[in-house]
Amino acid sequence: MIMSGASVKVSGLAKSFGRGLILKDLDLNLKPGESLALVGASGCGKTTILKILAGLCPYDRGEVKLEPSDLVPSFVSQDLGLYPWKTVWENLELPLVLAGRDKKARNTKVKTIQADMGLEGLDGRYPHELSGGQKQRVALGRALIVNPSVLLLDEPFSALDALTRESLGLHLASLWSGLGLTMILATHSIEEAVFLGQTIAVLGGCPTEVTAVFRNPGPKTPAFLTDRLFLDLVRKVRLALAVTGGQKTETWEKSGRV
């Protein structure tokens, strides 16, 4: 599977629901193949940002630019969005059906994705017959099946136990680095954010802004999870989240824009 990432540039983004301003003057900047993790309190606007990037939500002001401009990001929503009346095979195949791909091409592609995601032998099962981890892998597989340039993940592993979560995180990291796609994920797990994001943007304030930015130059390997650099970054991001509690501060090493 050869994919290549796209650039994502957001500048001066503002969004309100009714009279409540949720996002104010938000800037994000990713080069092709980079990964960004968004962390912030519940309700700060992470899902809203991802939906805007996916083209699923209008915004009030600012610019959202994906290059090349004709691409459609793949979005895995917080509730996974699997169709309960479709089997695993049919859920995985759906984007290819919608894209008008013929049966032979669909079969080949679904089998490749099943192997990549460890989903063999589950073809005829329905979502309610799957474990949490299997459901997450179907949702991720369905997002990857169209060879996206940009992958948007909203709390991808939130419903999972710690071990499954870590193993899927490692799997996602190796897929991401192998495929070269651009990835933005929202998560409540600081460890997940630090591991999967090359950049970690802490969101806070009211309305929400980027209050701190951290870079993670470390490798996305299991060994890195116990590395001093990783643990140090986890601590710094945790502090940034705790201290900002929403308030923007100038004391961060690299505050401001991503």
Backbone angles phi, psi at 27, to 5 degrees: -120, 135
Contact call for residue 189 and ligand ATP (CB under 6 A): no
Stretch that binds ligand ATP, among 4-12, 25-33, 39-47, 100-108 (CB under 6 A): 39-47
Query: 49 or 122: whose CB is closer to ligand ATP?
Result: 49
Stretch that binds ligand ATP, among 27-35, 36-44, 81-89, 138-146 (CB under 6 A): 36-44
Query: 39 or 175: whose CB is closer to Mg ion?
Result: 39
Q: Which among Mg ion, ligand ATP, none contacts residue 35 (Cβ within 5 to 8 A by kind)? A: none
> Is the sign of the CA dihedral 107, 116, 127, 79 positive or negative?
negative
What is the nearest approach in angstroms of ligand ATP to the Cβ of residue 202? 12
In angstroms, the CA 37 to CA 191 distance is: 11
Strand pairing of 209-215 and 199-204?
A: antiparallel
Binding mask 25-64 for Mg ion (x = CB under 5 A): ---------------------xx-----------------
Crossing angle (nearest 10°) for helices 132-144 and 162-179: 10
In angstroms, the CA 76 to CA 141 distance is: 10
The candidate with the shortest Cα–Cα distance to 229, out of 218, 240, 221, is: 218
Contact call for residue 189 and Mg ion (CB under 5 A): no
Binding mask 64-83 for ligand ATP (x = CB under 6 A): --------------x-----
Crossing angle (nearest 10°) for helices 88-98 and 132-144: 20
In angstroms, the CA 197 to CA 224 distance is: 13
Residue pair 39/188 in contact by the 8 Å Cβ criterion: yes
Contact call for residue 226 and ligand ATP (CB under 6 A): no
Query: 52 or 151: whose CB is closer to ligand ATP?
Result: 52
| Total of residues contacting ligand ATP (CB under 6 A) | 11
Query: 189 or 216: whose CB is closer to ligand ATP?
Result: 189
In angstroms, the CA 231 to CA 217 distance is: 13
Residue 50, burial from CB neighbour count under 10 angstroms (0-12, 13-18, 19+):
buried
Helices H, strands E: what count in the chain?
7, 9
Binding mask 96-135 for ligand ATP (x = CB under 6 A): ----------------------------------------
Binding residue (CB under 6 A) for ligand ATP from 6, 8, 35, 46: 46
The residue nearest Mg ion at its CB is: 47
Q: Which residues bind ligand ATP (CB under 6 A)?
A: 17, 22, 40, 42-48, 78
Q: Which residues bind Mg ion (CB under 5 A)?
A: 46-47
